Amino acid sequence: MIIFYTLAVLLILSSLMVVFQRNVVHCAMALVAALFLIAILFVTLQAPMVGVLQILVYAGAIMVLFLFVIMLLNPTSLEPRRGLSWGFGTVVALLLAVALAALVSHDEAPADPFAATELFGAPESLAKSLFTDFVLPFEIASVLLLIAIVGAVVLAKREH
Amino acid sequence: MIVDFGIIALKAFLVLFMVLNLAGVLGWIERKGSALMQDRIGANRASILGFAGMGLINTLVADPVKFLTKEDFIPPRGDKFLHTLAPCMALFPALVTFAVIPFGDTLQIGERVINLQVANLNIGILYVFAMGSLGVYGIVIGAWASNNKFSLLGGVRGSAQMISYEVAMGLSVIGILMVYGTLELQEIARGQGTLIREFLPESWRFLKAAIGWLPSWGIFLQPLAFLLFFTAAVAETKRVPFDLPEGESEIVAGYHVEYSGGKFLMFFAGEFAEIVTAAALMTTLFFGGWQVPYLLRDGFHFPWGATWLLPHLAVTLLQVGAFAVKVVFFCWLQILLRWSVPRFRYDQVMRLGWKMLLPLALLNVIVTALVIVAVQQL
Amino acid sequence: MVPLNHYLILSAAIFAIGVVGVVIRRNLIVVLMSIELMLNAVNLTFIAFSRFLGSMEGQVIVFFVMAVAAAEAVVGLAIIISVFRHRQSLDPQEMQLLKW
Amino acid sequence: MVEPTPNPMALDLLRWIPLLPLAACAINMFFGARLGKKTAGLLACAAVGASFAVAAYVFMLLPATGVFRDTLYTWFESGAFRVNVSFQVDALTAVMLLVVTGIGFLIHIYSLGYMDHDEGMVRFFVYLNLFIFFMLLLVMGDNLLLLFVGWEGVGLCSYLLIGFWYQDHNNAIAGNKAFIVNRIGDFGFVLGILLLVTELGRQGIWTLDFAELQKHVNMLSPATVTAITLLLFVGATGKSAQIPLFVWLPDAMAGPTPVSALIHAATMVTAGIYMTARLHFLFALAPQTLSLIAAIGAATAFFAATIALTQTDIKRVLAYSTVSQLGYMFLAVGVGAFGAAIFHLFTHAFFKACLFLGSGSVIHAMGGEQDMRKMGGLKSHMPATYWTYVIATLAIAGAPFTAGFFSKDLILWQAYSSAHGSPGFWLIAWLTAGMTAFYMFRQLFMVFHGGSRADPRGQAHLHESPAVMTVPLMILAVGSIFSGWLGAPEYLWGSRWDHWLEPVVRGGHEVHHGAVETEITLMALTLVIVAAGIALAYVKYGRPRPAVDQGAGTGGILYRISLNKYYVDEIYDWLLVRPFTLISDWLARVFDPGVIDGIVNGVGAGARDASSIWRALQTGNVQHYVMGFLAGTLALLVYYLRQP
Residue B107 DSSP class: E
- Alpha helices, DSSP H only, in D14-36? 16-35
Does residue D32 share a domain with residue D60? yes
**Set of chain D residues whose Cβ sits within 8 Å of the Cβ of C97:** 620
pTM score over 0.90: no
Contact A4 C2 (CB under 8 A): yes
| Closest residue, chain C, to D621 (C-alpha) | C96
Nearest CA in chain C to D615: C100
In a domain, D533, yes or no: yes
The residue count for chain C: 100
The rounded radius of gyration (Å) of the Cα atoms in chain D is 29
- DSSP secondary structure code for residue B196 in this structure: G
d(CA C69, CA A141): 11
Task: Compare all CA atoms of chain C with the CA of D614 and give the residue at the minimum distance.
Answer: C100
Question: CA geometry: angle at B359 spanning B356 and B365, to 5°?
Answer: 135
Dist CA A140 CA A147 (whole Å) = 10
Which residues, in sequence order, are CB contacts of D344 under 8 Å at separation 6+? D325, D328, D329, D332, D407, D408, D410, D411
Contacts of C42 in chain D (CB under 8 A): none
- Is-contact D421 D414, C-beta < 8 A? yes
Any domain includes A42: yes
Asked if D28 and D121 touch (Cβ cutoff 8 Å), the reply is no
CB D317 within 8 A of CB D444: no
Q: Is B48 helix (H, G, I), strand (E, B) or coil?
A: strand
Inter-chain CB proximity A24 and C30 less than 8 Å: yes
Q: What pLDDT score was predicted for residue D129?
A: 93
pLDDT at D379: 84
Q: What percentage of chain C reaches a pLDDT higher than 70?
A: 98
Q: Give residue D127's Cα distance to chain centre.
A: 15
pLDDT at D550: 46
D132-141 residue pLDDT tens: 999 999 999 9
Q: Using 50 as the pLDDT threshold, list the residues of chain D that sit under it.
A: 1-4, 507-510, 548, 550-551
Nearest CB to C100; choose among D615, D623, D630: D615
Set of chain A residues whose Cβ sits within 8 Å of the Cβ of D640: 103
Q: Does C10 touch chain A (CB under 8 A)?
A: yes
CB contact under 8 A, D627 and A89: yes
CATH number at A66 reads: 1.20.120.1200
Which residues, in sequence order, are bridge partners of residue B300?
B295, B308
pLDDT tops 70 at residue B307? yes
- Asked if D162 and D241 touch (Cβ cutoff 8 Å), the reply is no
User: Do C98 and D619 count as a contact with CB atoms less than 8 A apart?
Assistant: no
Answer whether residue D559 is part of any domain: no
Say which of A15, A86, A130 has its CB closest to residue C63.
Answer: A130
* Of C19, C31, C96, Cβ closest to residue D620: C96
**CB of D58 closer than 8 Å to CB of D13:** yes
Domain spans of chain B, in order of start = 75-377
Are B133 and A55 a contacting pair, CB within 8 Å?
A: yes
Taking CB atoms and an 8 Å cutoff, what residues of chain A touch B121? 48
Q: How many angstroms away from the CA of C69 is the closest CA of chain D?
A: 19
| Mean pLDDT per 10-residue interval, chain A, length 160 residues | 85 86 84 90 84 86 85 67 63 75 67 67 80 88 90 77
- Smallest CA-to-CA distance from B86 within B258, B206, B202, B212 is with B258
Query: Within a domain: residue D560?
Result: no
Pick among A82, A84, A90, A96 to test the D interface (most D CBs inside 10 A): A96
What domains, with CATH codes, occur in chain C? 4-91 (1.10.287.3510)
D512 and D444 in a single domain? The answer is: yes
Q: Is the dihedral of CA D57, D59, D64, D66 positive or negative?
A: positive
Substitution target from A17, A21, A29 for chain B, most B beta carbons within 10 A: A29
What's residue B31's pLDDT? Answer: 81
Q: Which of A24, A58, A75 is the last residue of a domain?
A: A75
Distance CA D1, CA D20 (A): 39
Residues of D in contact with A93 (CB under 8 A): 630
Q: Which residues does chain D have within 8 Å of residue C24's beta carbon, measured at their own beta carbons?
A: 623
Interface A-C: count of C-beta contacts within 8 A: 243
Neighbours of chain A (3+ CB pairs under 8 A): B, C, D
Q: Which chain C residue has its CA at the smallest distance from D634's CA?
A: C16
* Sheet bearing D81-89, strands edge to edge: D9-10, D68-78, D81-89
- Which of B187-201, C32-46, D185-199, D436-450 shows the lowest per-residue confidence on average (mean pLDDT)? B187-201
Could D621 and C19 be called an inter-chain contact, meaning their C-beta atoms sit closer than 8 Å? Answer: no
Residues of chain D in contact with residue A100, where contact means CB-CB under 8 angstroms, are: 637
Distance from CA of C80 to the nearest CA of D (A): 14
CB contacts of C66 in chain A (<8 Å) are 53-54, 57-58
Q: Among D285, D318, D343, which residue terminates a domain?
A: D285
Coil/strand/helix, residue B347:
helix
Q: Where are the alpha helices (DSSP H) in B38-148?
A: 56, 63-69, 80-96, 124-145
Residue in chain C nearest A6 by alpha carbon: C10
Q: How far is B367 from chain A (nearest CA, A)?
A: 20
Give the total number of structural domains in chain D: 3
The alpha carbon of B71 is separated from its chain's Cα centroid by a whole number of angstroms, namely 32
Tell if the CB–CB gap between C98 and D620 is shorter than 8 Å. yes
- Say yes or no: A40 contacts chain B, CB-CB below 8 A: no
Q: Does residue D581 sit in the same domain as residue D539? A: no
Q: How many other C-beta atoms are found inside a 10 Å radius of the C-beta of residue D586? A: 11
pLDDT value of residue B256: 79
Residue that terminates a domain, selected from D265, D285, D305: D285
When CB atoms are compared, the residue of C20, C54, C71 closest to A89 is C20
- What pLDDT is recorded for position D190? 93
Question: Do residue A48 and residue B122 have CB atoms under 8 angstroms apart?
Answer: yes
Strands B307-309 and D9-10, bridge-based pairing: unpaired
Q: How many CB atoms lie within 10 A of CB B308?
A: 11
CA distance D284 to D278: 11
Say what percent of chain B tops pLDDT 90.
3
Contact (CB, 8 A) for D55 and D98: yes
Domain that residue A160 falls in? 117-160
Question: What is the C-alpha to C-alpha distance for residues D134 and D262, in angstroms, rounded to an integer?
Answer: 13
Same domain (yes/no): A131, A69? no
CA dihedral D364, D369, D371, D373 (to 10 degrees): -90
C positions 65-94 inside 8 Å of A (CB): 66-75, 77-82, 84-85, 89-91, 93
Asked if the Cβ–Cβ distance from D611 to C100 is below 8 Å, we say yes
Number of compact structural domains in chain A? 2
Give yes or no: residues A67 and A124 share one domain.
Answer: no
> Highest mean pLDDT range out of B2-6, B37-41, B189-193, D327-331?
D327-331
Question: Which residue of A25, A26, A61 is in closest CB contact with B133?
Answer: A61
Residue from A74, A155, A159 whose CB has the most chain C CBs within 10 Å, to mutate = A155
> If pLDDT is split at 50, 70 and 90, which confidence band does B35 have?
confident
Least CB–CB distance from B152: residue in A23, A65, A71? A71
**Residue D387 sits in which domain range?**
287-549
**Residues D25, D133: contact at Cβ < 8 Å?**
yes
Instruction: Evaluate whether A105 touches C5 at the Cβ level (below 8 Å).
Output: yes
Q: Do C78 and A75 touch (CB under 8 A)?
A: no
Distance from CA of D639 to the nearest CA of A (A): 10
Closest CA to D504 of D2, D140, D52: D2
Question: Looking at the partner chain, which of A26, A49, A64 has a beta carbon nearest the beta carbon of B136?
Answer: A64
Of the CA atoms within 13 Å of residue D50, those in its CB half-sphere come to: 20
Classify each residue of A102-131 as buried b or exposed e, where b means 16 or more C-beta atoms within 10 Å of its C-beta. eebbeeebeeebeeeeeebbbbebbeebbe
DSSP code for D591: I
- Given an 8 Å threshold on Cβ–Cβ distance, is B159 in contact with A67? yes
Rounded to whole angstroms, how far apart are CA atoms C69 and C48? 19
Domain membership flag for residue A141: yes
* A90 lies in some domain: no
Rounded Cα gap, residues D125 and D23, in angstroms: 12
**CB < 8 Å to C32, chain D:** none
Q: Does A116 touch chain D (CB under 8 A)?
A: no
SS3 D102: helix
Yes or no, beta carbons of D620 and C97 under 8 Å apart: yes
Alpha carbon distance C27, B205 (integer Å): 67
Residues in chain D with CB shorter than 8 Å from the CB of C21 are none
Half-sphere exposure of B246 (CA within 13 A, CB side): 17
Per the DSSP assignment, residues forming a β-bridge with A156 are none
| Boundary (domain end) residue, out of D236, D251, D285 | D285
Q: How many CA atoms lie within 13 A of A155 on its CB side?
A: 17
Predicted pLDDT at D504: 67
How many whole angstroms separate alpha carbon C73 and alpha carbon C77? 6
Q: Report yes or no: A126 at the B interface, CB cutoff 8 Å.
A: no
Q: Report the residue of D626, D634, D638, D639 to disrupt the A interface, i.e. the one with the largest count of A CBs within 10 Å.
A: D634
Helix (H, G, I), strand (E, B) or coil at A112: coil
Q: What's the pLDDT score for residue D502? A: 66
Q: Residue D575 falls within a domain, yes or no?
A: yes
Residues of C in contact with D627 (CB under 8 A): 23
- Assign B151 a pLDDT band (cuts: 50, 70, 90): confident
